[in-house]
Amino acid sequence: RGRAPGAEGARGVSEARLAALRAPLAPIEADAWVVGGSLRDALLGRPVADLDVAVAGDAEAAARALARHHGAGRFRLSRDFGAWRVHGGALPFTVDLTPLQGGSLGADLARRDLTVNAMALAAGPGAPEVVDPHGGRGDLAARRLRPVGPTSLADDPVRVVRMARLAAQLGFVADPGAVALARAAAPRLPRVPPERVMEELRRIAALATPAAALAGLDALGGLGALVPELEQARGMDQSAYHHKDVLGHTLEVVEHCAGIAADPEPVFMAGSAPRIRERLAEPLADGLTRGQALVFTALMHDMAKPATRAVTPEGRVTFWHHDRLGAGMADAWCRAMHTSGRLREAVARGVRHHLDLGFMVHRQPLSLARMDRFLRSVAPDEVEALVLSAADRLATDGPRTTPDQIRRHLVLAREVMRAHWALVDRGPVRPPLDGAALVRLLGRPPGPWLQDLLDATREAQLMGRVTTPAQAERFARAWEARRASVA
């Protein structure tokens, strides 16, 4: 049996890892240093895909030399900061090169956010040595997040969000002083360019544990600063069917959504799990997959509860229409954060329909036509709607909730999910008579009635009652006669 590596062995592994970071940078003639998260992750033994390099001098010339040597591509990242990116070819990393900020390596590192990100590794020849003026290696060993200086977070409040993300991503803890500085800086987050905040929030959504990062952000005062409705939800009690306040429930729904996206089988059974996982891994918008975008929908799904909370004369807590109002609030939040229209629409649509499946639980068993009606109402986010509904139900387990209530909801979610895949496999349901033919048949000008008739015909097709043009004609005449008699 081999012995565990001692200090010398660990040092050798570390030096080899650092040498692997430096080797591709040999073509750079100017003084340059690997800095930031890439060095931090290498020291932690985490995989490194991107290198941040600080260059003393002309970053463009360094990028040109690096690209020429490795047969890679290059492009400018920022005119303001003189940053360049080199990637592809024989390069094992994507390399971002930026001129030293402040005129020297010491000044550059002093401007950084956290000590674990304020170390440097010289890219030139010689033994790999880490420049560590702020005690970053000690904080790595202690698994601690600590700002470089007393104004590091106030200088750039986005760093509050980053600190919460890194704590969850690395399993680190912010020291008490860092928490105090973060809580002082967090109220300024709404004044930061929203694109920069969204970049960090997208990274949180991509974590395996986004709820932990959002809870950490809340502890630093950042979540309520970015979503004031969630601050109003803190401590807001709900009905006896809930076991947490609105904010706690919201974070638990995020947790369940991420858990289902990672492993759908415990909730949706083995038959649907691979397809759910594949669907949620598809790109949606803004660099997010469908599953990652669902984190934002879950975070916003009850944001209108503070605005709609009421108590009936019998003492029952209600939140009537918080789904409708919340959809508008989510839309406004996404607009303020300058998200894409596609992400904004998906989030608002998910919030608007997050209660719909629950309203159907007491109508079981459902016909295929009724399930199809629901699926069309939430399209094209059918899978996300079902996952969110299941997560919402799992996070609603108060003293009046029975195991059977949760079971019936999840059984329905599974049935509708199976119906969704069956309809996908069946392919488009094309009407035997199109809209123009129905207009001629009934002698009516086109209007909202036509879509209602097409929907009714589709449901009759799904139930096997309409399969031919002749049957569609008889169905349309009977439908029109019923409509006329009611009118």
> Distance between CA 44 and CA 97 in Å, rounded?
22
Opening angle at CA 424, ends 423 and 429, nearest 5: 60
DSSP H or E run through 283: strand 283-285
Residues with Cβ within 8 Å of 239's Cβ and at least 6 positions away in sequence, in order, are 316, 317, 318, 398, 400
Instruction: Read off the pLDDT of residues 346-392 as tens digits, 9 standing for 90 and up.
Output: 999 999 999 999 999 999 899 999 999 999 999 999 999 999 999 99
Percent of the chain topping pLDDT 90: 89
- One-letter amino acid at 442 equals L
Selection from 68, 373, 112, 401 nearest residue 244 by Cα: 401
| Residue 13: predicted pLDDT | 52
According to the model, what pLDDT value does residue 6 have? 41
pLDDT of residue 42: 94
- Token pair for residue 283? 């790109």
For the chain, helix, strand, coil in percent to 5 are 60, 10, 30
Q: 131: which strand partners?
A: 120
Question: Do residues 455 and 466 lie in contact, with contact meaning Cβ atoms separated by under 8 Å?
Answer: no
b vs e for 190-202, b when ≥16 Cβ sit within 10 Å of the residue's Cβ? eebebeebbebbb
Angle made by CA atoms 315, 317, 318, in degrees to the nearest 5: 130
Return mean pLDDT, the chain: 94
Reported for 318-322, long-range contacts at CB under 8 A and 24+ positions apart, including other chains, are: 318/239, 319/238
Helices (H), 45-186: 59-70, 105-110, 136-142, 152-155, 158-170, 176-185
- The pLDDT value recorded for residue 9 is 41
The predicted structure's pLDDT at residue 240? 81
H helices of 143-193, in order, are 152-155, 158-170, 176-185
- Rounded CA separation 354/298 (Å): 9
pTM: 0.92
Q: pLDDT tens for residues 259-287?
A: 999 999 999 999 999 999 999 999 999 99
Question: How would you write the pLDDT of the chain (487 residues) with one tens digit per residue?
Answer: 334 344 444 455 578 889 999 999 999 999 999 999 999 999 999 999 999 999 998 999 999 999 999 999 999 988 777 899 999 999 999 999 999 999 899 999 999 999 999 999 999 877 678 999 999 999 999 999 999 999 999 999 999 999 999 999 999 999 999 999 999 999 999 999 999 999 999 999 999 999 999 999 999 999 999 999 999 999 999 888 788 999 999 999 999 999 999 999 999 999 999 999 999 999 999 999 999 999 999 999 999 999 999 999 998 999 999 999 999 999 999 999 999 999 999 999 999 999 999 999 999 899 999 999 999 999 999 999 999 999 999 999 888 889 999 999 999 999 999 999 999 999 999 999 999 999 999 999 999 999 999 999 999 999 999 999 999 999 999 999 998 888 6
**pLDDT for res 10:** 45
Q: Tell which phi-psi region holds residue 424, choosing left (phi > 0), alpha (psi between -120 and 50) or beta.
A: alpha
Sheet of 32-35, strands arranged across: 73-78, 83-87, 94-99, 50-55, 32-35, 120-122, 130-131
